[in-house]
Structure 1
Amino acid sequence: MDTPEARQDRARVRRATAHTILDRLGLFDRWRPLGSPVLVGSVALDLVVEPDIDMEIYSPAPSVAEGFGALVACAQLPGVRALRFSKALDLADRGLYWRLDYEFTPDETWKIDMWWLPDDHPGPRAADLVAPVRAALGDSTRDAVLAVKEGAAARGEAAQGVWVYQSVLDHGVRTYDEFRAWHARTPTDGLTSWRPGAMG
């Protein structure tokens, strides 16, 4: 079914799956001794379409060795298929990145993106976007976000969350075709410090 209620129900099921995976892997407990883990992105906003979970971890000094120490045991758990790493402390992202691929079912693999960032990270930070986006969303805009995301998924195309939220909340986008048109005329390369209501 393609109704607002059906879209919201699907999002709730996906969010519940995401939390089941987080519990199985114990990721918050693994990161807490090293810093402050924060759930961000679509799972935090209850707008899950793609099988993705995003976390940020904050501490004074991210450590490659300590990060691997937290995740090596996790990588040995049943269902974990891959562990990837990128060191970007001296790049625009200014952090350490790990990604876990977790096979929830034989037909459904989730990826968990984890950025370990310093407390004094200059931004933009996904953690700072959750509260203002949540506050700005109403029933109609929440449904529009899900409609755009599901439209992208149905076509096998990527639609990064922050650009979907901006297009819906600040530019009136309501369908995936409208999003594609907006995206085609909007610079979306690199990081963005966008917040709801901050046009441009």
Structure 2
Amino acid sequence: MTIYELAERTNNTAYQILRELKLLERWKEVGEPILVGAAAYRLMISPDIDMEIYCEMPNASAGFEVLAQCVKHPNVIAAKYVDLLDTEDQGIYYQMKYRHDDGIEWKLDMWLMAHDHPGPCARDLVEPLKTALTDETRRSILEIKQQIGQTLGLKVPSIQVYEAVIDDNVRSFDQFLIWQAAHNASGLTRWKPESVRKND
């Protein structure tokens, strides 16, 4: 199986899970749900789905109703929330664990935030990153993410891979490790592709 085939299969499974849980439809009762992260860019390697939901005034109980419906599905094996409104994240975080029929456990991360959230927000990266991607950078990103996943104890925010490949021409896992050592970033980031920033 090629890296593209793996990514496409993982992406298709993600959308299947979203349909089974009717997750976008359920969150529409609360606010405006937006699929973000690797699923939005079709750069999926890991079994993780990310969403942001925007509303007038986030409150935990609204999300509980969504989770209450989803946990009725036999493949949902865990659910939790954390109120982080008073932190730099300024949102309410919900998580579900979903065990797919093939035995693989998926993590669904969902953030409920206000429409006027000051950012940075993942929604603001979706279109710029999709515009900046090429066949070459897509392949490099997928290969690096795959090797990160296969490296015990190594955890890297995907946005660092995107920045390294798209802005700094990193094309291999070894090159990425060198790049990361020189870019020891932490916390929230407002990064967007350099080509997009030049046109802003």
TM-score bin (small chain): over 0.9
Decide whether the 8 Å contact of 1:30 with 1:71 is kept in 2.
Answer: no
Q: CA RMSD in A?
A: 1.3
Aligned residue in 2 for 1:117:
113
Q: Which moved more, 1:175-184 or 1:48-57?
A: 175-184
What is the CA–CA distance in structure 1 between the aligned matches of 2:126 and 2:62, rounded to whole Å? 27
Q: Does 2:145 align with 1:172?
A: no
Kindly provide the CA deviation profile for residues 104-158 of structure 1, in whole angstroms up to 9, marking residues without a partner as x.
Answer: 0353000000001100000001001010011001010000000110111121332
Structure 1 runs not aligned, ≥5 long? none
List aligned pairs for 1:51-130, cutoff 5 A.
Answer: 51-105=47-101, 107-130=103-126
2:12 match: 16
Letter in 2 for 1:148: I
The SS at the match of 2:74 is coil
Q: How does 1:132-151 map to 2 (within 5 A)?
A: 132-151=128-147
Q: Distance in 2 between matches of 1:150 and 1:56?
A: 25
State the alpha-carbon separation in 1 of the partners of residues 174 and 21 from structure 2.
37
Q: Write the distance in 2 (CA, Å) between the matches of 1:99 and 1:73.
A: 14
Q: Name the SS for the 2:57 alignment partner.
A: coil
The unaligned stretches of length 5 or more in structure 2 are none
CA deviation after TM superposition for structure 1 residue 175, in Å: 1.2
Q: TM-score, normalised by structure 1?
A: 0.94
2:148 is aligned, of 144, 148, 152, to: 152
- Indicate yes or no: 2:7 matched with 1:7: no
Deviation at 1:187, TM superposition (A): 2.5
> Is contact 1:59-1:118 (8 Å) kept?
yes
SS in 2 for 1:124: coil
Task: Give the residue type in structure 2 aligned to 1:99.
Answer: Q
* Deviations 1:89-111, CA, capped at 9 Å, x for gaps: 01010000001000003530000
Task: State the alpha-carbon separation in 2 of the partners of residues 128 and 51 from structure 1.
Answer: 22
Is 1:35 paired with 2:25? Answer: no
One-letter amino acid of the counterpart of residue 122, structure 2 = A
Q: How far apart, CA to CA, are the structure 2 residues paired with 1:103 and 1:188?
A: 33
Alpha-carbon separation, structure 1, partners of 2:71 and 2:171: 39
Instruction: Provide the secondary structure at the position in 2 that maps to 1:105.
Output: coil
Q: Which residue of 2 aligns with 1:161?
A: 158
CA distance in structure 2 between the aligned counterparts of 1:193 and 1:108, rounded to whole angstroms:
32
Contact kept, 8 Å, 1:52 with 1:110, in 2: the verdict is yes
Q: Deviations over 1:160-191 (max 9, x none)?
A: 11111001011111111211111112122100
Q: What secondary structure is seen at the aligned counterpart in 2 of 1:82?
A: strand
TM-score when scaled to structure 2?
0.94
1:182 to 179, 182, 198: 179
After the TM superposition, list the runs of 4 or more consecutive aligned residues in structure 1 that deviate by more than 4 angstroms: none
